[in-house]
């Protein structure tokens, strides 16, 4: 019986010891978990503090900038106040305006309003004219797209459209009869020109500086004029361009596009230009009424 009681006592002590060790292990794990949470909370707090300091620095910079703007605005307000005071002082000196003075001011304002209206209309007409020139250039380039760009160039200069054709395409050296091959180019130009009957056509011949003298031509003036006349006559007779729209002129060597001291420059200068210009009555309408339609 005594042995049984002792055995039970020993078992009781062993059970109590096992339970205490298990609780201690659980407590230790809990402590470790709490320490990790504490370390994370401290790190988050430090990061938040750094972020807040950065934001505060940025806010201070913004505040300084706003204060500078406010100071500038206050300076402007003070200037306007002084200006207003000066104007009031001047108005007090002009408190009585004569009838003739008031009428003169009224007429001046009416004149300014009329000038402003004319400028607005003219600007609108110029914009419309630029749009028409752009459409005309696009039509010409589309029609001439299979022609070498070095032989035919289309551009807008001085508010009008220029079609510049190299003389090597149009004429033989020192001649003024138009080559058969060039008739295709002139026909395409004429087709577009005939669709824009509101335009006049100036055909203008140009040469390089090398002088020429033959039985029929005394100098480059003659050559440039005869070449322009040949082109204008072909536009009229073969491609039905109305002759009253055509003008032939020669500039000789006196309006070069490039340097005459090089072969390439002289090649560029030997050209015939077809210049498309608005009719004079439409041009004056642009200047006076801004309608030009």
- SS3 label, residue 96: coil
Dihedrals phi, psi of 108, to nearest 5 degrees: -65, -40
Packing angle between helix 280-288 and helix 99-143, nearest 10 degrees? 140
Say whether pLDDT at 83 is over 50.
Answer: yes
Say whether pLDDT at 191 is over 60.
Answer: yes
- Closest to 129 in 3D by CA, of 99, 161, 90, 82: 161
- Please report where in the chains the tokens 């003169």 appear, as a residue: 104
| Least reliable range by pLDDT among 21-35, 72-86, 144-158, 273-287 | 273-287
Query: Can you give the C-alpha Rg of the chain in angstroms?
Result: 47
Domains, the chain: 150-281 (3.30.1330.60)
Reported pTM:
0.56
CA distances in angstroms from 44 to 34, 49, 117, 122, 275, listed in the order given: 15, 8, 69, 70, 79
Under the banding of pLDDT at 50, 70 and 90, the label for residue 293 is: very low
Q: How far apart are CA 169 and CA 177, in angstroms?
A: 12
pLDDT mean over 20-45: 80
Task: Dump pLDDT digits (tens) for 162-177.
Answer: 999 999 999 999 999 9
């Amino acid at each position: 019986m005594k042995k049984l009681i002792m055995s039970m006592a020993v078992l009781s002590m062993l059970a109590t010891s096992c339970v205490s060790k298990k609780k201690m292990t659980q407590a230790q794990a809990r402590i470790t978990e709490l320490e990790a949470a504490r370390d994370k909370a401290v790190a988050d707090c430090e990061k938040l503090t750094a972020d807040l300091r950065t934001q505060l620095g940025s806010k201070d910079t913004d505040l300084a900038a706003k204060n500078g703007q406010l100071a500038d605005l206050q300076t402007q307000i003070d200037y306007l106040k002084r200006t207003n005071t000066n104007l009031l002082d001047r108005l007090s000196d002009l408190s009585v305006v004569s009838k003739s003075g008031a009428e003169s001011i009224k007429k001046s304002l009416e004149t300014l309003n009329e000038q402003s209206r004319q400028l607005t209309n003219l600007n609108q007409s110029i914009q419309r004219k630029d749009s028409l020139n752009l459409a005309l250039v696009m039509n010409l380039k589309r029609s001439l797209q299979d022609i070498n760009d070095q032989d035919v160039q289309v551009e807008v200069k001085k508010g009008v459209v220029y079609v510049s054709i190299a003389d090597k395409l149009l004429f033989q050296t020192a001649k003024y009869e138009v080559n058969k091959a060039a008739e295709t180019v002139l026909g395409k130009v004429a087709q577009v020109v005939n669709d824009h009957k509101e335009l006049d056509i100036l055909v203008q011949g140009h040469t390089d500086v090398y002088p020429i003298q033959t039985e029929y031509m005394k100098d480059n003036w003659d050559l440039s004029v005869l070449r322009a006349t040949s082109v204008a006559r072909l536009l009229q007779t073969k491609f039905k361009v109305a002759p009253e729209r055509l003008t032939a002129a020669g500039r000789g060597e006196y309006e070069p596009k490039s340097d005459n001291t090089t072969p390439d420059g002289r090649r560029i200068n030997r050209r015939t230009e077809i210049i498309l210009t608005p009719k004079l009555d439409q041009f004056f309408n642009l200047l006076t009424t801004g309608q030009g339609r």
